Structure 1
Amino acid sequence: MVQTTDIGFTREDFERLLSQYDYHFSPGDIVNGTVFSLEPRGALIDIGAKTAAFLPLQEMSINRVVNPEEVVNEGDVREFFILTEENEEGQLTLSIRRLEYMKAWERVRALQSKDETVRAKIFAVNRGGALVRIEGLRGFIPGSHLSTKEPKEELIDQELPLKFLEVDEERNRLVLSHRRALVERRMNKLEQYQVVVGRVRGIKPYGAFIDIGGVSGLLHISEISHDHIETPHSVFNVGDEIKVMVIDLDAERGRISLSTKQLEETPGEMVQDSAQVYALAEDRAEKFRQKLLAEQTAALEEVPEATATEEE
């Protein structure tokens, strides 16, 4: 006969001791759990709490979900985000959608840091611009950054190349630019001080906007002529085909700065005989480049002499 020893430790004592080591769950925690039951409006998840946690259908994915089986199956083990405190029944609410958002913002920040170009379809438009989805996140393209001649309503379902303008998870702001992506693409084919053919697409008091192969460059009023110009309207009309020199390429800001002033042989020639300026544009641009090169070479040659003087 086996003798038993009374150690004075009852089942109640054991349960009381076990409760002291119960896990404490808080909103914002990320936990592992097992799916053990699917329901029409969600799923029950075992995360080691006293009561099964609930994963609502609307919290299963960034994307719209109709049936739980689209995302989870019984027996699946995965991570969950704790969304809320326990309710009156001691049940926690979980989310997969929140985890997907966190990972999506992380991927978007990585893309922005590398200044990557992304492609996305427009799914809606409004008065301010257009809406797209990037990594499941809703992004906004301001109207001023939509570089297209088509009406906005006709852009729905079109896929566009885009660059990031603003990535702010705290404010839930993801702003993109189609214009910047096109300008960068075009910039890769342009060189500073190159002469290009463009068409005047708009005139403002401060200058003219010139279409160059689908992207817009600014010909500032101060870069039209060496002579004073009262208004760009005195030199150009919308629709005019002109030749301009590229004087600056700002990829980060998506801007192309242009000049006809540097193509003049005498001040005011753009006003008096613009056809002559365009006819000789390439030759004059080459002379301009040679002049710049000579000035740069002379400046470099002066550096050792200045250094030597300082040492003496």
Structure 2
Amino acid sequence: MTVTSTDPVQDPAVETAEALSNGADAAAEVADQAEFGTDEDLSIPDDIPTADDPSSRAASRDMDNAGFTLDEFAALLSKYDYNFKPGDIVNGTVFALESKGAMIDIGAKTAAFMPLQEVSINRVEGLSDVLQPGEIREFFIMSEENEDGQLSLSIRRIEYQRAWERVRQLQKEDATIYSEVFATNRGGALVRVEGLRGFIPGSHISTRKAKEELVADFLPLKFLEVDEERNRLVLSHRRALVERKMNRLEVGEVVVGTVRGIKPYGAFIDIGGVSGLLHISEISHEHIETPHSVLNVNDQMKVMIIDLDAERGRISLSTKALEPEPGDMLTDPQKVFDKAEEMAARYKQMLLEQAEEGEEPLGSMMV
């Protein structure tokens, strides 16, 4: 589904929020790398931009043409016991649009006032973009009556509540959404989802573009965190890409990839825009001291997929399973690549036999 919206009202607290913390320890780094198939820290920082607050004042209503006097109107209302409370949602009729807000008739003794900042969760140029005189709709009561007996109303609060309900449902469905990047900062990128401000940590952006060049791009995204109480909406571009790629991949398939990074525990292989981990134990049947002794960054090579974990966004790869003879990756890697499809066919046959015998598939036992 495609999610778009106009620019939301900006919260000053959001504009000054720092994005990411860079102090992940080595153990956390390795765990995240193995989980998501990247050499970056994929943890969600505590200090991130928040998802969405303002106020104003009112003016008097001209009752010259109302058809009855103010005294008659007050006498009529005094017969009823109105009990409006902050947090209530009431129906009201728009009867005046002013420069700083709108006058709303909700049946109270005094016309209620809705500040311009409360007209929508999205940024608007003027009240007439959203409201028309005579229009009847729902309003959220923000405060108790002031000294003049006037209530303050909001449409934005209703939209805000319903937006959180929608994103919680989307997260529950594990939906992939598309949203436009409207800004970037040191820690990541900002998007809008149902009018709420969402944050993509830099470690969850999977593209070769410079971060600043992403503005106005629409990205596929998965939800990482939806927390209305903490006002945090965190998304992942990387997980959406991995899932989409995984839908076209299968265990036992041979793919061509490029070495993008080498760590002591393995190499990260780009296979069509997403990274898979070729663990050091899966390079060869022979013992290897370090992946650097076999592989170089930017090497092109054939690898076989041995595990796909869509929930955790992890792709595990192997060249060991493609060796015609143990140790061929060390002595003759070209032989391994030449016979890759043949060896993969044997691997798939082995998986089928294991499944028929009720054994746990090899792929599910890979780390």
TM-score (norm 2): 0.74
Residues 132-171 of structure 1 mapped to structure 2, 5 A cutoff: 132-171=191-230
- Matched with 2:303 is 244
CA distance in 1, matches of 2:138, 2:180: 30
Runs of 4+ in 1 over 6 A off after TM superposition: 15-18
Is the contact between residue 276 and residue 315 of structure 2 (CA under 8 Å) also seen in structure 1?
A: yes
Q: Does 1:38 align with 2:100?
A: no
Q: Considering only aligned residues, what root-mean-square deviation do their CA atoms show, in Å? A: 1.8
Q: Which piece of structure 1 moves more, 262-271 or 153-162?
A: 262-271
Name the SS of the counterpart of 2:337 in structure 1: helix
Q: Structure 1 residue 63: deviation in Å?
A: 1.3
Gaps of 5+ in 2: 1-73, 360-367
Give deviations 1:118-175, integer Å, cap 9, x for gaps: 1111100011110001111111111111110010011111111111111111111111
Pick from 344, 352, 356 the counterpart of residue 285 of structure 1. Answer: 344
Gaps of 5+ in 1: 1-14, 301-312
- Matched with 1:219 is 278
- Matched with 2:190 is 131
Q: Does 1:207 align with 2:266?
A: yes
Q: Does 1:79 align with 2:146?
A: no
- Identical amino acids, percent of aligned pairs: 70
Give deviations 1:63-112, integer Å, cap 9, x for gaps: 11232111111111100011112222221111101111111112212222
Is the contact between residue 166 and residue 176 of structure 1 (CA under 8 Å) also seen in structure 2?
A: yes
Q: Which has the higher contact order (CA 8 A, sep 6+)?
A: 2
CA distance in 1, matches of 2:347, 2:254: 11
Q: How many pairs align? A: 286
Is the contact between residue 131 and residue 138 of structure 1 (CA under 8 Å) also seen in structure 2?
A: yes
Is the contact between residue 104 and residue 114 of structure 2 (CA under 8 Å) also seen in structure 1?
A: yes
Name the SS of the counterpart of 1:191 in structure 2: coil
Q: Which amino acid aligns with 2:193?
A: I
Residues 251-266 of structure 1 mapped to structure 2, 5 A cutoff: 251-266=310-325
Is the contact between residue 46 and residue 53 of structure 1 (CA under 8 Å) also seen in structure 2?
A: yes
Is the contact between residue 139 and residue 158 of structure 2 (CA under 8 Å) also seen in structure 1?
A: yes
Pick from 176, 186, 193 the counterpart of residue 252 of structure 2. Answer: 193
Is the contact between residue 37 and residue 74 of structure 1 (CA under 8 Å) also seen in structure 2?
A: yes
Larger Rg: 1
- Matched with 2:129 is 70
Q: Which amino acid aligns with 2:304?
A: M
CA distance in 1, matches of 2:334, 2:122: 58
Pick from 266, 286, 296 the counterpart of residue 355 of structure 2. Answer: 296
Is the contact between residue 77 and residue 109 of structure 2 (CA under 8 Å) also seen in structure 1?
A: no
CA distance in 1, matches of 2:126, 2:323: 70
Name the SS of the counterpart of 1:88 in structure 2: coil
Q: Structure 1 residue 31: deviation in Å?
A: 0.6
Q: Structure 1 residue 16: deviation in Å?
A: 9.8
Q: Does 1:117 align with 2:170?
A: no
Q: Structure 1 residue 18: deviation in Å?
A: 7.0
Larger proportion of strand: 1
Q: Cα distance 1:157–1:18, how it changes in 2: closer, same or farther (>3 A)? A: closer
Is the contact between residue 57 and residue 66 of structure 1 (CA under 8 Å) also seen in structure 2?
A: no
Q: Which piece of structure 1 moves more, 95-104 or 285-294?
A: 285-294
Q: Structure 1 residue 266: deviation in Å?
A: 3.4
Q: Cα distance 1:298–1:252, how it changes in 2: closer, same or farther (>3 A)? A: closer
Is the contact between residue 90 and residue 106 of structure 2 (CA under 8 Å) also seen in structure 1?
A: yes
CA distance in 1, matches of 2:79, 2:288: 84
Is the contact between residue 141 and residue 151 of structure 2 (CA under 8 Å) also seen in structure 1?
A: yes
Name the SS of the counterpart of 1:123 in structure 2: strand
Q: Does 1:173 align with 2:232?
A: yes
CA distance in 2, matches of 1:281, 1:90: 80
CA distance in 2, matches of 1:68, 1:17: 31
